[in-house]
Amino acid sequence: MRERASGILCHPTSLPGRFGIGSLGRHARALLDFLVDAGQSYWQVLPLGPTGYGDSPYQAFSAYAGNPLLIDLDELVELELLTQDDLADAPAFSSGPIDYGAVIGHRDGVLRRASARLLGGQADAALQRELEAFSGQQAAWLDDFALFMACKRRFNWASWTDWERGIALRVPDALAHWRNELADEIAHQRVLQWLFDRQWQVLRAYAHDAVLRIIGDMPIFVGHDSADVWAHRDLYYLDEAGQPIVIAGVPPDYFSPTGQRWGNPLYRWDRMAERGYAWWIDRVSHALEQVDLLRLDHFRGFCGYWEIPADEPTAVNGRWVQGPGRAVFDALADALGGLPIIAEDLGLISADVHALRDGLGLPGMRVLQFAYDSDASNDHLPHNCPANCILYTGTHDNDTTRGWYANAPAETQHRFRSYAGSDGSNPAWTMIRMAMTAVADLAIVPLQDVLNLGSEGRLNLPGRAAGNWTWRYAEGALTPGLAEALKALAVVSGRWWEEDEEPASAEPLVLEYEPPLS
């Protein structure tokens, strides 16, 4: 990481746009422009994979693929893969929360038109050559993923364990049959991945030109109904039919009295070790082709993870099982030449987790919303934060700071006001100032806090089955006044320096801009 910097957390789905969901086009570039104007150095996103039931980026169909819902349709018009007429019949999407059903229904038809033009030879031949090169370069994961998605569609989106037995268990004759039977759909799936990657790499280059770095997010586990598990069953604890024997989650905690039953199959770490952790090396290498740093979700699982029998309805009845420890990170460091990783070390953390994190020299995380429910020894209080950490006001799993304060117990509110020297009238920006002025090397603020939103801006409520991942900000919300206020804080706290700028004066900081209350 750069020494002393700050950034914004905002997933691309939360961007505005006329087609019901954020995309990788002009609104994404506008966000990056805003970050530059605001004196920020980092853009943090959530996992970028294709989502399934529940729309969660943490339960993707692949650990490698990109989400086709993020493909910018207007840019396909510029490539002459679509026409304006193709987009004229779009539904009247709301500018507010995402209606995934409507978005998926519209986008599937439009993207098929674009794919048909490309595959039918009606597009620039250079684009076809790009597609062929991408398909060859990414074949190690793309071939399995394209067939997986083609089969998902053929079998009415059923989990792979419910497909015809031959293809579910990857019998060679069945693989050959379905590759031939579904050749057109497989080709379409390759096009979608090429389009996503093409647009993402353009956006990443735009960020780098602006001297911005991107922080990605990698879940420790992968979804059971994914191309990864289907193609590599021997790396997971599954029965003969492919069903998980034990699954991942966490015990009861701050977020849920019954814990979190994630449902991900657990790794056979013994087999991964026998193969030199090649799957992990390949996975992380691929991710670092998209982002500059990786937040490794549930880092504690590498020391010990919560194992839940697959037939348990909650996460209460589980047990801790020892993880692979340092071995997987040594293999990664040897292969990659370093570890550009942020350790997500939140929750029930034991001493061995701290020892592993510190032994590897990885920055951990602190969250200011967790800081005011106990006493002065709380690890999340600014005075207890180490320099080598990332300090958040809140994460994608938290309420917005304004919502958190409104719903916090009176005692917690009192501690917050007393610590901050605040009357509690603007908790979000009070907490942003605390994060920016803290000793932590990197401060990250969810965009909802910058916009001073209440609970209506919450992105995810862990344990809630539906209604998550839908928040979007309104076009025009990223005003020059907001950028000015953020940059003033970044400058006065030493998180932003213009090349020709003198250090900030000792004069008191006065913000002419007052952040909105709603």
Question: Which residues have C-beta within 8 Å of that of residue 351, sequence separation ≥ 6?
Answer: none
Contacts 24+ apart (CB under 8 A), 466-470: 466/54, 468/54, 468/55, 468/56, 469/11, 469/13, 469/51, 469/55, 469/56, 469/57, 469/98, 470/55, 470/97, 470/98, 470/99, 470/100
**Annotated active-site positions, please?**
297, 344, 397
Angle between helix axes 480-492 and 427-437 (nearest 10 degrees) is 40
d(CA 90, CA 71): 15
Tokens found for residue 241: 């039919």
* Alpha carbon 337 to its chain's center: 24
d(CA 249, CA 321): 12
**37 contacts 483 by C-beta, under 8 angstroms:** yes
**458 contacts 399 by C-beta, under 8 angstroms:** yes
Tokens found for residue 495: 């998180």
**41 contacts 213 by C-beta, under 8 angstroms:** yes
- Residue corresponding to tokens 């909802």: 448
